Amino acid sequence: MIHSINSIGVLYNDTITAKNKIVDGTAVDILSCLGKSIEILKNNWHGIDAGKQIQKLVFAYNKMVEVRNHLDLICAGLTKILKGYEKMIITFDSKKEESYIRLRYEPLKILEDYYDSSDLIDINASVLESIKFINKAKSALDIFVTETNNFHNAVLSNWLEGPGRDQFEYRFNLFLKSLEKFKENFMNSSSDINTAFENYSDLH
């Protein structure tokens, strides 16, 4: 069985950093911004059209939860694999103390679907505040994409060969697909909401 890792310690530290900085950092920032935007819209925009547009943003939020949870699972799985590598090292070096901690998978929950079937059309200028949080989410998303790509590249350049690498690659490719779906849904929903706000501005 062939193993080729430049540094298990560096690989472990990169994974912990990804967990703290990306999974529980940037991803949560995106969800926080989207959540605030959704709450603003719920409080200041009512009617059938509002229900449809807000639900699109809820759907995008839930896709981001899926993305975040997927990356969290990858990090947890990677530390499990690294614990296995560490045990092999300890077997050959009895003086080495075990130091790596296996991460736990800690998924976040999705939001409930949103419905508003009232005939009343009610919207006020406060909804424009939601745009600020949507734009913050977009900026955070750019950072998230950069950070995850850097993490992916760092792992593969360090971990050249060995058991678990193919599994990591497979899971990360699935993660990238879920990220792509989130971006598509988020961009579409934010564009639709912007259009609705522009229509509102034209009427007032």
C-alpha 97: how far from its chain's center?
34
C-beta of residue 107 within 8 angstroms of C-beta of residue 99: no
For the chain, list the strands marked E by DSSP.
4-5, 45-46, 122-123, 159-161
Residue type present at position 2: I
pLDDT at residue 195, as a whole number: 85
C-beta of residue 203 within 8 angstroms of C-beta of residue 190: no
Query: Residues 13, 16, 17, CA angle at the centre, nearest 5°?
Result: 85
Q: Taking 90 as the threshold, does the pLDDT of residue 20 lie above it?
A: yes
Residue type present at position 147: E
Mean pLDDT of the chain: 86
Bridge-based pairing of strands 4-5 and 122-123 is unpaired
d(CA 76, CA 101): 10
Which residue did the predictor score with more confidence, 143 or 88? 143
C-beta of residue 82 within 8 angstroms of C-beta of residue 90: no
**pTM attached to this predicted model:** 0.88
d(CA 26, CA 13): 18
